[in-house]
Amino acid sequence: MVFVGTDSTYNKHDYDDYWCGEPRYRENIMFDAKREAEDQVKTDYPYSVYRDRQEITQKAEQIFQQWQQSIEPPSHQRERRYSSGERVIDRWNKEQGERKRLYVSTFVGKYLEELAKKDEAARPKVQPQPAATPATPSNTAILKGATLTLKDVVHNADECIYYVEIEDPGYLDGVLPAEIYSPLEEAPPAQASSGYGIASSSYGFASSGSSVSPSYQSPKKKGTRLYVRNVGKK
């Protein structure tokens, strides 16, 4: 059934409520068209709705014909005349073009409006991504199950000391601390890095041959060898 019940404020199925000459009656026509468009989208969404404007217009024209038939003057009223002498049926037929224009244009506009609302509600919402947390430089490196942690660095006048801890479950008894130190010597002329320097990005540390510039001023003396002492002593 195209129409709602007769207890509605509008769509009383009474032709006297749908003349085009007065604003309140024109509003009745547009109100019914809007309500019908809403019902059509609600019922058919999402699989059976019309997307093409021309198809929506054709649908509106079909519904208009059914709607108008339900409210046209009954046979016993058609010959009734107004004070001007005009018959009811003549006036009704004369306004049919404008009545159709109001109904169809309003139906199409409301149909597209409701369809857009449904599409927007069904569109997946993009969740805001949390801001990426800047990577914090780590003093710990892990390789093949072994963990090496740089605990402290001390720069003395005659040597540099690197305090480390090594944990290697299954191979070492607990966490073993150690001191890796390098005696400072007069800096040699610029040349390739010594084969004894430690320079492995896997551990997160760089030798004196690294291209990374330290934040402190380089001493006149530089270490060229690494030694280990105090292993397992705290």
The answer to whether residue 175 scores a pLDDT higher than 80 is yes
Give the Å distances, CA to CA, from 177 to 68, 113, 164, 168, 226.
Answer: 94, 72, 6, 12, 16
165, two tokens: 């801890």
The tally of CA atoms less than 13 A away on the side-chain side of residue 19 is: 7
Q: Where are the domains of the chain?
A: 15-122, 140-229
C-alpha to C-alpha distance for 212 and 71, rounded to whole angstroms? 88
pTM, full prediction:
0.52
The amino acid occupying position 28 is N
Q: Which residues contact 216 (CB under 8 A, 6 or more apart)?
A: 155
Tell me: the pLDDT tens digits for 29-78? 999 999 999 999 999 999 999 999 999 999 999 999 999 999 988 888 88
Percent residues over pLDDT 70 in the chain: 78
225, pLDDT greater than 60:
yes
Q: Which residues contact 124 (CB under 8 A, 6 or more apart)?
A: none
pLDDT of 2 > 50? The answer is no
